[in-house]
Each structure stands twice: as C-alpha cells, then as structure tokens.
Structure 1
Amino acid sequence: MVLLLLVDLDPGLTALRPLGGFFVLRTSDAPARPLPTLAETYGGGTSDVYVDSMTFRVRKVGAALRAPETRVAASVAQQGLAARLWSVALGCAVRYGTLPDLDPEILRWDPDAGAPDDLWLTEVRPAPGDLAETVLEGHLRPLTDLVRTRYGIAEGLLWGNVASALAGSARLLEQWARTRGRSEEAERTRALTARLLGHPLLAGTGTLTGTAFRRRSCCLYYRVPGGGVCGDCCFARPPRSSPRAASG
C-alpha cells in the first residue's frame, strides 16, 4: 500500500493549478450541462446527456485520430483517462501529502471534451490516504474491466496503458518540481511512482529507470495514420506484422 498523511485540503485544490491543465481538477463552477459520474461510466449506465459515456468517448477519439479499428480508439481513450486520474491523484499526494475523496460517485467526466480529459469533483473532502486503493482499485480496475470486456483488448495491454499513464504523469510532475528547486517534491514523486509500479496490478508491465519507463506492451497508437510508436513503446519502430501482434 502507498499510505499518505492527512493534511488540510483547500476547496479549490489550488496547489494543482501551477502544475498546468493536465493536473488541474475542477471543483467549482458547475458544468453547463449534466455530466456523467465515473461510477456511471464504469457501470455502463446513463446520464441526462450521454446514453453511454465510454462509447461516446471512444467514438470521439476514433474520429479525431481516424483510427482504423475501434479497439485502437478504445485503447487511446482508456490511457487518456487513466493519465488524468493519475495526474490529479499524484499532484495532490505530492503537493498536499494527501488525497481528496475521489469516489467515482462524486467525480464527473466530460466525454465530449478535448484532451486532456475534463474531470470535475463535486465535493472536496479528505479521504483515507491509500493511493493505490483510491486510483487503481477505485477507478482503473473497473475502467480496465469495462474496456477489456466491451472492446476485446488484451488485459496486459490495458494494464500497460495504466502503467504508461502513471509514468508519464510522474515524469511531468517530477520535472516541474526539479525545475523549481523543489527537490523534496521531486523525490516524493519518484518514490510514489516506483512503489505504485510494484503493485500486483502493474508489476511486470515495464521497467522504470530514473524517470524513463519502457513498457512491455504496445497501446496500438502506431495503427493510427501517421501515429508511429510512443516514447515508451516496446517497439523501436512500428511493427509490420499482424495488427494483433501488439495486443498482448
């Protein structure tokens, strides 16, 4: 477990704002239209606007990328949401030393937003500080189960996406801290990331060397026209074999 010490959280989570839009979590200014909670998303439920928010998001991502297969869009969508969940959680853990309650019932998501994914917390309240339980068990396990079941994507690929999203968020946060002389926050980021990557759900998904992560699977982004391979991909260049060769 990754345990944190509880300290006070300000209602606007203002300590996240200097980190940039990738880390910001909206807590005020109710959205103009009803947004689904992530609990509804993971359960395949409905909201006032979106019949099925994950399907909506996958279609939007697929159209934007001109993805040749739905599973490619689903992989990219899952990784994008995972990255945002990691960023807000890591940002709070490092800057506050604790987490707000990120219960899927009170965390809302706009599947029609651009990138990065838009998240809105309806109530800021402290939560017991187990980072792995809050993010991995509370969000990324049900998200991964949904995408795996609905789109037939290999579980190893999806957990590789989760690990890649964690490493990417941590790298941005550590770079921000080091460039501002906040060595303690940089070291805290690195330590939390290493411990999370050792969690049973993520162990074996890749290798972390300093801030560099090399995953053992591929997110399928190379299948997008002009996409190429990502910086942490297991492939040095886009494979020429069957498109399903990278799905494990």
Structure 2
Amino acid sequence: MHLDTRLAALAPLGGFFALRTGEPPHGPLPTLAEAYDRTPPGPGRPHPLDARVRRVAAGVGAAEPRVAASVAHQALAARLWSVALGCAVRYGRVPDLDPRLLRWDPAGGAPEDLWLTEVREPAGPVPLADAVLHGHLEPLAAALRARHRLAAGLLRGNAASALAGAARQLARWARENDEPDAADRARALAARLLAHPLLAGAGAGVLDFRRRSCCLYYRVPGGGVCGDCCFARAPRSSAHGSSG
C-alpha cells in the first residue's frame, strides 16, 4: 500500500497516531531538529524544549522542571512511536520522518500536533529503530539531559513505555476492527524494538510491559503511579525521585 499525501489511514487510529501533512496553517513552527539542537537560540528566542517543559509544567502543576521534562519526553516519544508504528502496520512502510521535516508546536496541548511538511516515499524499507530511536529519541534525550537532571535509565524507560503503549493501543484498535493480522504485526514490531540495545533491559513484557524505572509522574500533584510503573504505589521518600 502506497503512502498517500495526507496519511489518511492514520486518522481512524486516534489522536496519538494522526499526523497532519503540509505546512502548519497558522505560520511556521519550529522543527523537531530545532528542538534537538543543543546550540543556544538567538536573543529573545526561547529554546523549543524549554518552552515545552514550561507548558507541560503549567498544565500538570509540576513544581520541579525535571518532572515536567520527563512528562514532556514521554509524551513526544509516544507521538513519534504511534506515528511510526501506525504507518508500518497500516501502510507497510514508514515515510521519511527526518526531524527537519516535522514541525511541532511546543506551546500546544496534548497530544502534540505534528506536521510532516512533505510525505516522502522511501526508496526501501526504513527500520523503525533508525526512524525513531536514532532519528529522534537519541537526540531528544541528549537535548533534555543537557538542560535537566534526568537519568539515562529514566529516559530509556520512557521511550520503552511509550513504545509499548502505542503498540497496545494499535493492537486494541486492530482487534476491535477485526484485523488480527494488524494486531499481531503491532506486537511483533514492538517486541523486536524492545529488544534493541537502546531499549533492552528497560522493562519486561510487550503489550503487558512493566518498566524498571520511574518516570516521576507520581511527583505531579495527584499523579499517582502509571499503569506500567515499577512501583506498586507512589513512593513516600523523595529519594526515589531520581529513579532511573
């Protein structure tokens, strides 16, 4: 199945999977390449990641910037995995997801709006690890760690959790729409990716994934623990806050 210019097959999967195409209608927005750039922006121009962390902190009431940074990281990772997995399952291929082609509104709500400015048909199969892990999550983690005290294990856990969540949602959609082959494909892709050296050891399971690190969401007012958290209940001691 060839990619269509609007990637219309993603829309029925839900908001985390949908990907707008073309230029944003309300003027230019930063690209994800700019978000990953660790060079300080010019005077009067906030870095896109700083703007995003502030937006998330205000939205969830996080007093600690590193907590908001972790939440922002996992949310963007979930969007990227969802788009890539959705394309792989629905089209059998992934478009060019070069960070320079993806525009993003750091001041927007959740899930993040992403615009793929040009849908490029790949010349051959694009491994999901190259498209997402190497193309996005490695530079995103490096940029966030340059600004916030986030453990590498925490970010690896976020990436794995986001992948498992996207696969779980995609498999659920496939089963509800009587597409068992698509559900099997989603699970198989996720299992292969969770075994990748950049994610291996981050947790156990696939669609029933449970991570070995904490994303710090319990430190958000009223946050509690996530469904795949390594903790059964929110820790009482702040010493757990750096879990990674």
The answer, yes or no, to whether TM exceeds 0.5 is yes
Within 1, Cα distance between the matches of 2:242 and 2:189?
29
What SS is found at the alignment partner of 1:150? coil
Paired residue for 2:83? 88
Structure 1 residues 151-204: Cα deviation after superposition (integer angstroms, max 9, x where no partner): 011000011000000011111000000011101100000000000000000000
List per-residue Cα deviations over 1:96-129 (Å, max 9, x = no partner): 0000000001111111110001100000012241
Amino acid at match of 2:194: L
* Superposed displacement of residue 244, structure 1: 4.4
Q: Name which of 145, 152, 166 aligns with 1:169.
A: 166
Aligned to 1:163, the other structure's residue is in SS state helix
2:209 is paired with a residue whose SS is strand
TM-score w.r.t. length of structure 2: 0.94
Q: How does 1:21-100 map to 2 (within 5 A)?
A: 21-28=15-22, 30-44=24-38, 46=41, 51-100=46-95
Task: Give the counterpart letter for 1:142 in structure 2.
Answer: P
Q: Which residue of 2 aligns with 1:3?
A: none
Q: 2:111 aligns with which of 81, 97, 116?
A: 116
- 1:154 alignment partner in structure 2: 151
1:186 aligns with 2:180: no
Q: 1:42 to 1:29 in 2, by over 3 A?
A: closer
CA RMSD of aligned residues (A): 1.7
Residue aligning to 1:240: 236
Structure 2: which 5+ runs fail to align? none
Deviation at 1:243, TM superposition (A): 4.2
Give me the TM-score of the superposition, normalised by structure 1. Answer: 0.93
Measured in 1, the distance between the counterparts of 2:232 and 2:136 equals 31
The 2-side partners of 1:51 and 1:123 are apart by: 26
The answer as to whether partners of 1:153 and 1:247 remain within 8 angstroms in 2 is no
Deviation of 1:33 after TM superposition, in Å, equals 2.5
Q: What is the DSSP-based 3-state SS (H/G/I as helix, E as strand, rest coil) of the residue aligned with 1:123?
A: coil
Give, in whole Å, the separation in 1 of the partners of 2:67 and 2:103: 24
Q: Point out 4+ residue stretches in structure 1 off by more than 3 angstroms.
A: 44-47, 243-246
Identity of aligned residues (%): 63
